[in-house]
Amino acid sequence: MNRATNAEDRTRQIAGAALLRLAAGHLADNDPAMICVDRTCDTCGQPHGRPKLIGTDLHASISHSGDRIAVALTRAGHVGVDVERISPIDLAELASGVLGIEEHANSTTDFFIYWVRKESVVKATGDGVVAALERIRVSQPSEPPMLLAYPDRTPLAATMTDLHPGGDYVAAVTVLATGPIIVTEQTWPSLVD
């Protein structure tokens, strides 16, 4: 394991937790220090589950990649957000674990758009890493974002939106609710200089 990467990941996790509390405190009109975040997994009881904001009516999701941290908050329903840095990959090797038979990535960017759309859905459902991404179908990268099929959860009401994290990043957010859902993106000042 690369200790620098682990230290960087830990810094992003801490910054993400702080950003979540700041944003939730703002929306709940409460002191961020008073926001109680429970990460207990509904399946195994370990502290890696979807964040629950105890004592609020807010649903939350956090993602980080590179120098981007995404926090999604809503009252509309369970939410999932994913942000990924577009990086060189072996497309042929990774595609079979992410893309379904009818899904084709013509570029690395297309692959990552599929990836963040699917990850946002499995985070919203709470299925996370146990979900078979290649079985979940989403719209093509050139089309408006949409969940087309989620095995064993049909029909699943979901509203998906592509986000604009800038640079060489892509991101998506999914809310398990039918529209209209208005997504507002905000860029927050750096928490760490």
**Total domains present in the chain:** 1
Q: Determine the Cα–Cα distance for residues 78 and 99; give it in Å rounded to an integer.
A: 24
Q: What token pair was written down for 90?
A: 């072996």
Q: Is residue 144 part of a domain?
A: yes
Q: What is the pTM of this model?
A: 0.90
Q: In this predicted model, what pLDDT tens digit does every residue of 108-141 receive, in sequence order?
A: 999 999 999 999 999 999 888 788 999 999 999 9
Domain with residue 163: its CATH number is: 3.90.470.20
Q: Determine the Cα–Cα distance for residues 1 and 128; give it in Å rounded to an integer.
A: 23
Name the residue range of residue 57's domain.
3-175
Would you say 51 and 63 are in contact if contact means Cβ atoms under 8 Å apart? no
Peptide bond between residue 144 and the one before it cis (omega within 30 degrees of 0): no
Q: Is residue 126 part of a domain?
A: yes
User: Along the 193 residues of the chain, how does pLDDT read in single tens digits?
Assistant: 344 568 888 888 888 889 999 999 989 999 999 999 999 988 888 888 889 999 999 999 999 999 899 999 999 999 999 999 999 999 989 999 999 999 999 999 999 999 999 999 999 998 887 889 999 999 999 999 999 999 988 788 999 999 999 999 999 999 999 878 889 888 876 443 3
Q: Determine the Cα–Cα distance for residues 125 and 28; give it in Å rounded to an integer.
A: 23
